[in-house]
């Protein structure tokens, strides 16, 4: 007797890949009426748990079920917004998912087992329970213990899939519950605050922002902190007070080469102190070389590509905002040129045949020769990053395509993905770094030089810069000289720049705001809501320190601070402030400036004086911790929902009492009134 098994993946691409591996080639592929993406794959195979099986492998398209308040609460004026804290929520299949759900329900009727193949992350676990819910609607027997199982897999390599197929496990109910509480809380809190904000502020704004009569002023646990980052930086720029500092510059000319030495103290804000130190230098007259060190230096090849990194690089190098980059990457994925573009993983699985993927890129394109050189022995295993979402590999090219077959934007994204991948499979760049220290009077000064000896990955990855500095004349330890020039100079600290998109993404990333798939959407949302505007960053005159350091300033101070690493002072209050010093690379980058409405919202809430700020990332972090607690069975879904709702109910009540502060902020910023 053949056992009938229904397998359901999270997306069509996984269903197809898994079906191919399990079937051994004999597959019957059927369309699902009413949906152009989902297909049913029918085949026979042996599964360890059940023996000879007749399998139907299909998929959903992400979440299958939707949630909304019951009908009588859906009209905005149907109730006081805070009634949504406890209004009944209905679960239903959205119209555009009816065909997918119907397919699963029908297929389930004939199945003895339901085998879930969703991604092995929290959302995937929850989607698994949605599939089970729909399937058991068609076939009650699948509710029995052991009849519904799931596969544990983290990539679609053949051996890995075959192994996963033989070792089914149970769905992780705790993870699914964690997601369920996230869904409920975001809905209740988002809808309550959004209605309240809109209904109480919108009348003040009529006709003020564009043509829209009814502009929604939304609150969400992700969009508000995102706005908060933009406003915080804006205020730092606006409130910046330049400070004068003093420094000592030493230059020595030797063998016709002018060498500038940097003061070890960099600069001080006390003029008299610098005068005293400078005079001691002059009194000493000669400087003595205290250290000469030449050592190998290398610039590491980049890590395998994650979504966050793709988005940051898109803003920096491809002149596309994060949302556009994802749209283009999605197209490339669907046409089969690149792998799944939503991933947090920066480690390639050891089992992956990367050489074969490199080989494909030898067929053409500007990088063909480089790829050939890797095939001919230059190949080096990619570095391993620290992230693995256990669901998808890093983004990489999966097939060769001639650039001429792609649109201009597709070419840029595709080229970046290919070059990044080839760079990962190359050797680090090698060089030699020389550091020279001198003691001049009581003060230490440094200079250094870099010689790039082997470019290696840099040849295929023009997005990184690492160039040799001018050659240094020879200095010997103990040697003394009278500096050609020694001067005391003053300067002024300069404000940080407005937040750029790569910086914003980095902030969201370290603070856990949004996911790889949604960060770009949150950014787009605060633009659409007219909380922020973007403009191309002007070419500000800055002293770029192109000394070949690894740092590219991608972690803004706010990120470090919020992430609990005290890096705020590390860079000092130097002449470069918070600049993103990376040569011309940032020329096309967009910077974010809040609108008057954006500032008003943040200021308004800040001025209410709550200890838990809605505009700071901590609440979202707290939610993340609570979800983790559910996953580890330290809390129940009911506990978390209850305590979180009470917390927000409190904020809501106090918001009502202080609505005047919010309205005052709107008047102040949007209408330029005082008070």
Partner DNA sequence: GCAAGGTC
User: Of 198 and 298, which CB lies nearer to DNA in the complex structure?
Assistant: 198
What distance in Å separates the CA atoms of residue 675 and residue 664, rounded to the nearest whole number? 6
Of 30, 72, 74, 285, which one interacts with DNA (CB under 7 A)?
A: 74
User: Of 299 and 522, which CB lies nearer to DNA in the complex structure?
Assistant: 522
517 contributes a contact to DNA by CB under 7 A = yes
Kindly tell me the number of DSSP H helices and DSSP E strands found in the chain. Answer: 19, 18
10 contributes a contact to DNA by CB under 7 A = yes
CB of 133 vs DNA, minimal distance in Å = 14
Site for DNA in 284-303 (CB under 7 A): none
69 contributes a contact to DNA by CB under 7 A = yes
CB of 179 vs DNA, minimal distance in Å = 8
Residue 473: is it exposed, middle or buried by C-beta count within 10 angstroms (0-12/13-18/19+)? middle
Please name the helix (run of DSSP H) or strand (run of DSSP E) that holds residue 486, with its range, or none: strand 485-492
Cβ atoms of 626 and 635 within 8 Å: the answer is yes
Of 21, 39, 97, 233, which one interacts with DNA (CB under 7 A)?
A: 97
User: Of 217 and 303, which CB lies nearer to DNA in the complex structure?
Assistant: 217
Of 105, 330, 546, 639, which one interacts with DNA (CB under 7 A)?
A: 330
Residue 250 structure tokens: 């030493």
User: Of 342 and 537, which CB lies nearer to DNA in the complex structure?
Assistant: 342
CB of 51 vs DNA, minimal distance in Å = 31
Our CA angle for 422, 424, 430, nearest 5°, is: 105
The one segment of 222-230, 530-538, 556-564, 656-664 that binds DNA by CB under 7 A: 222-230
What distance in Å separates the CA atoms of residue 612 and residue 610, rounded to the nearest whole number? 5
The one segment of 315-323, 348-356, 511-519, 656-664 that binds DNA by CB under 7 A: 511-519
Q: By rule CB under 7 A, what count of residues binds DNA?
A: 53
- Strands of the sheet containing 3-9, edge to edge, are 28-32, 35-47, 51-59, 3-9, 113-117, 148-150
The one segment of 59-67, 162-170, 349-357, 554-562 that binds DNA by CB under 7 A: 59-67
Of 224, 337, 370, 498, which one interacts with DNA (CB under 7 A)?
A: 224
Q: What is the 3-state secondary structure (H, E, C) of 147-212?
A: CEEECCCCCCCHHHHHHHHHCCECCCHHHHHHHHHHHHHHHHHHHHHHHHHHHHHHHHHCCCCCCC
Residue 497 structure tokens: 């720049």
Cβ atoms of 429 and 456 within 8 Å: the answer is yes
334 contributes a contact to DNA by CB under 7 A = yes
What distance in Å separates the CA atoms of residue 145 and residue 561, rounded to the nearest whole number? 48
514 contributes a contact to DNA by CB under 7 A = yes
Residue with tokens 């409130």: 239
Residues whose CB falls within 8 Å of the CB of residue 133, separated by 6 or more in sequence, listed in order: 65
User: Of 154 and 515, which CB lies nearer to DNA in the complex structure?
Assistant: 515
Q: Which of 41, 115, 340, 457 is catalytic?
A: 340
Per-position x/- string for 17-56, each x denoting binding to DNA as judged by CB under 7 A, each - no binding: --------------------x-------------------
The one segment of 5-13, 438-446, 487-495, 646-654 that binds DNA by CB under 7 A: 5-13
216 contributes a contact to DNA by CB under 7 A = yes
- Report residue 444: phi and psi, to 5°: -100, 140
Please name the helix (run of DSSP H) or strand (run of DSSP E) that holds residue 44, with its range, or none: strand 35-47
Residue 423 structure tokens: 């760079």
CB of 177 vs DNA, minimal distance in Å = 15
What distance in Å separates the CA atoms of residue 457 and residue 427, rounded to the nearest whole number? 6
Of 26, 33, 77, 404, which one interacts with DNA (CB under 7 A)?
A: 77
User: Of 252 and 414, which CB lies nearer to DNA in the complex structure?
Assistant: 414
Closest CA to 542 of 604, 509, 585, 512: 585
Cβ atoms of 37 and 12 within 8 Å: the answer is yes
- Report residue 37: phi and psi, to 5°: -100, -40
Residue 183 structure tokens: 């869904």
The one segment of 64-72, 265-273, 281-289, 601-609 that binds DNA by CB under 7 A: 64-72
Per-position x/- string for 560-599, each x denoting binding to DNA as judged by CB under 7 A, each - no binding: ----------------------------------------
User: Of 11 and 301, which CB lies nearer to DNA in the complex structure?
Assistant: 11
- Report residue 563: phi and psi, to 5°: -80, 0
User: Of 56 and 118, which CB lies nearer to DNA in the complex structure?
Assistant: 118
Of 5, 6, 7, 12, which one interacts with DNA (CB under 7 A)?
A: 12
What 3-state class would DSSP assign to 530? coil
Residue 86 structure tokens: 């406890």
The one segment of 141-149, 150-158, 346-354, 518-526 that binds DNA by CB under 7 A: 518-526
Site for DNA in 105-144 (CB under 7 A): 119, 121, 123, 127
Per-position x/- string for 161-200, each x denoting binding to DNA as judged by CB under 7 A, each - no binding: ---------------------xx--xx--xx--xx--xx-
Give bridge partners of residue 288 from the DSSP assignment: 439, 480
232 contributes a contact to DNA by CB under 7 A = no
Active site residue 531: no
What 3-state class would DSSP assign to 132? helix
Give bridge partners of residue 535 from the DSSP assignment: 591
CB of 333 vs DNA, minimal distance in Å = 7
Of 103, 306, 515, 595, which one interacts with DNA (CB under 7 A)?
A: 515
Strands 148-150 and 113-117: parallel
CB of 611 vs DNA, minimal distance in Å = 21
Give 400-407's long-range contacts (Cβ < 8 A, gap of 24+): 400/360, 400/361, 400/363, 400/364, 400/365, 401/335, 401/337, 402/364, 402/365, 403/365, 406/332, 406/337
309 contributes a contact to DNA by CB under 7 A = no
229 contributes a contact to DNA by CB under 7 A = no
Q: Kindly list the distances between the CA atom of residue 94 and the CA atoms of 90, 116, 184, 234, in Å, as whole numbers in the listed order.
A: 12, 21, 17, 41
93 contributes a contact to DNA by CB under 7 A = no
What distance in Å separates the CA atoms of residue 468 and residue 470, rounded to the nearest whole number? 7
Of 13, 200, 294, 444, which one interacts with DNA (CB under 7 A)?
A: 13
Which residues in this chain contact DNA in the complex, by CB under 7 A?
A: 10-13, 37, 61-63, 66-69, 74, 76-77, 84, 96-97, 119, 121, 123, 127, 182-183, 186-187, 190-191, 194-195, 198-199, 202, 214-216, 218-224, 330, 334, 342, 514-518, 522, 525
Which are the catalytic amino acids?
340
């Amino acid at each position: 007797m053949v056992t009938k098994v229904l397998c359901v993946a999270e997306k069509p691409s996984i269903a197809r890949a898994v079906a191919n591996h399990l079937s051994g080639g004999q597959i019957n592929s059927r369309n699902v009426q009413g949906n152009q993406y989902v297909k049913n794959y029918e085949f026979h195979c042996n599964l360890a748990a059940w023996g000879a099986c007749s399998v139907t492998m299909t998929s959903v398209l992400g979440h299958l079920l939707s949630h909304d308040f019951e009908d009588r609460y859906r009209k905005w004026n149907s109730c006081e917004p805070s009634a949504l804290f406890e209004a009944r929520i209905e679960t239903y299949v959205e119209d555009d998912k009816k065909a997918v759900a119907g397919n699963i329900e029908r297929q389930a009727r004939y199945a003895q087992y339901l085998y879930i193949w969703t991604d092995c992350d929290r959302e995937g676990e929850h989607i698994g329970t949605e599939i089970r819910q729909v399937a058991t609607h068609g076939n009650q027997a699948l509710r029995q213990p052991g009849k519904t199982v799931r596969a544990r897999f983290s990539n679609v390599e053949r051996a890995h899939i075959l192994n996963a197929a033989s070792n089914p496990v149970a769905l992780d109910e705790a993870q699914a519950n964690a997601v369920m509480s996230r869904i409920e809380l975001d809905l209740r809190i988002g809808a309550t605050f959004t209605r309240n904000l809109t209904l109480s502020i919108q009348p003040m704004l009529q006709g003020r922002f564009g043509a829209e009569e009814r502009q929604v002023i939304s609150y969400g646990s992700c969009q508000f902190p995102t706005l908060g980052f933009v406003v915080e930086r804006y205020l730092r720029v606006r409130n910046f007070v330049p400070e004068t500092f003093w420094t000592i510059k030493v230059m020595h000319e030797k063998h016709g080469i002018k060498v500038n030495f940097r003061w070890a103290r960099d600069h001080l804000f006390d003029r008299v102190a610098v005068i005293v130190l400078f005079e001691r230098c002059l009194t000493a007259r000669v400087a003595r070389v205290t250290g000469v060190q030449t050592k190998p230096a290398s610039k590491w090849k980049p890590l395998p590509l994650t979504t966050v990194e793709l988005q940051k690089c898109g803003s920096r190098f491809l002149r596309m905002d994060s949302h556009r980059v994802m749209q283009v990457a999605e197209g490339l994925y669907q046409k089969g040129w690149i792998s799944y573009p939503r991933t947090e993983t920066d480690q390639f699985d050891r089992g992956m045949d990367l050489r074969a993927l490199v080989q494909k890129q030898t067929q053409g394109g500007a990088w063909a020769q480089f790829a050939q050189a890797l095939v001919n022995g230059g190949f080096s295993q990619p570095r391993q990053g620290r992230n693995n979402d256990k669901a998808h590999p890093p983004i990489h090219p999966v097939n060769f395509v001639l650039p001429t077959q792609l649109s201009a934007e597709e070419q840029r994204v595709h080229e970046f993905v290919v070059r990044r991948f080839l760079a990962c499979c190359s050797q680090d760049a090698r060089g030699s770094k020389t550091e020279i220290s001198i003691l001049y009077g009581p003060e230490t000064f440094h200079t250094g030089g870099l010689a790039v000896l082997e470019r290696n990955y840099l040849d295929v990855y023009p997005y990184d810069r690492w160039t040799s500095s001018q050659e240094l004349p020879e200095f010997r330890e103990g040697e003394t000289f009278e500096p050609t020039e020694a001067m005391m100079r003053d300067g002024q600290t300069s404000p940080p720049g407005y937040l750029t998109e790569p910086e914003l993404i980095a902030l969201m990333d370290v603070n856990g705001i949004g996911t790889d798939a949604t960060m770009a959407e949150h950014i787009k949302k605060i633009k659409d809501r007219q909380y922020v505007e973007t403009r191309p960053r002007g070419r500000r005159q800055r002293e770029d320190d192109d000394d070949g350091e690894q740092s590219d300033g991608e972690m803004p101070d706010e990120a470090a601070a919020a992430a609990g690493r005290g890096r705020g002072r590390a860079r000092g209050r130097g002449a470069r402030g918070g600049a993103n010093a990376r040569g011309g690379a940032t020329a096309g980058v967009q910077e974010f400036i809040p609108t008057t409405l954006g500032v008003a919202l943040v200021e308004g809430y800040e001025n209410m004086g709550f200890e838990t700020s809605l505009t700071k990332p901590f609440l979202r972090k707290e939610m993340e911790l609570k979800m983790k607690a559910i996953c580890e069975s330290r809390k129940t879904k009911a506990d978390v929902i209850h305590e979180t709702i009470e917390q927000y109910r409190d904020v809501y009540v106090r918001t009502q009492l202080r609505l005047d502060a919010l309205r005052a902020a709107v008047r102040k910023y949007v209408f330029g009134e005082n008070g």
